[in-house]
Chain A
Amino acid sequence: QSVLTQPPSVSGAPGQRVTISCTGSSSNIGAGYDVHWYQQLPGTAPKLLIYANNNRPSGVPDRFSGSKSGTSASLAITGLQAEDEADYYCQSYDRSLSRVFGTGTKVTVL
């Protein structure tokens, strides 16, 4: 049971910018807990994409960026590429449930 809500899907043409929202509540994102993002390419394990709201691990292209405000967070992909087609999940901490994931968003490159 996910407590963080994401849009089921977003799409864009190559080179475009897309954003994915992650909506929580006052017991998780709104309580000040950091938001992290994972990318899951088809048939593979999740991979850390953004940590602590807006930080990229080594090796992650700078076309991926994150932000957080209030009870929500967003992931932006600028200069969309075919290899970005994947599922994306946000994750935070919730006072009652420990670590919580978003519902997941499938990004399609048109």
Chain B
Amino acid sequence: EVQLLESGGGLVQPGGSLRLSCAASGFTFSSYAMGWVRQAPGKGLEWVSTISSSGDYTWYADSVKGRFTLSRDQSKNTLFLQMNSLRAEDTAVYYCAKDSGRSGWYFDYWGQGTPVTVSS
């Protein structure tokens, strides 16, 4: 059974940093691209970032480019999202998601999410 367990969310002041983790199990982690999607309170889904299966390539939404860094540790089956220079508009629930591995660029499994609040 595929499981994605996010952690690391919390309250941080504007301009601060936070590192989210996503522990994956139930599939061959190193064979799949992974990503993060966020959802601001009462709002819709927003794609944040994706990393290739090898970790060699990363893609970011314009809203986080230059501030967020996505990485993965294949030995620990864990995905990391380093978030710097946080802003109030980054406040959201952050979901870790597994790419399907098929053509079409979609996520087939999602974690339960970890909340991030940026406020003074």
Q: Mark A23-43, 1 if CB is under 8 A from B, else 0.
A: 000000000011010101000
| B70–chain A nearest beta-carbon distance, Å | 12
| Chain B interface size range | 20 to 34
Given contacts A93-B105, A98-B61, contact A45 B112 (CB under 8 A): yes
Chain B interface: which of A12-20, A47-55, A77-85?
Answer: A47-55
Q: How far is the CA of A93 from the CA of B105 in the complex (A)?
A: 7
| A51–chain B nearest beta-carbon distance, Å | 6
B106 touches A101 (CB 8 A): no
B62 touches A51 (CB 8 A): no
**Pick from B62, B63, B104, B107: contact of A52, CB under 8 Å:** B104
Given contacts A45-B95, A99-B35, A99-B50, contact A51 B108 (CB under 8 A): yes
A34 touches B61 (CB 8 A): no
Q: How far is the CA of A52 from the CA of B103 in the complex (A)?
A: 8
Q: How many residues of A contact B (CB 8 A)?
A: 28
Question: Is B111 close to A, CB under 8 A?
Answer: yes
| B24–chain A nearest beta-carbon distance, Å | 15
Given contacts A51-B106, A99-B35, contact A46 B44 (CB under 8 A): no
| A45–chain B nearest beta-carbon distance, Å | 4
**Pick from B103, B104, B108, B113: contact of A45, CB under 8 Å:** B113
Which positions 73-120 of chain B face chain A at CB distance < 8 Å? 95, 100, 102-113
A98 touches B50 (CB 8 A): yes
B44 touches A89 (CB 8 A): yes
**19 pairs across A/B with beta carbons < 8 Å?**
A33-B104, A34-B103, A36-B104, A44-B112, A45-B95, A45-B113, A46-B110, A48-B110, A51-B104, A51-B108, A52-B103, A87-B44, A93-B105, A97-B61, A98-B59, A99-B50, A101-B44, A101-B47, A102-B44
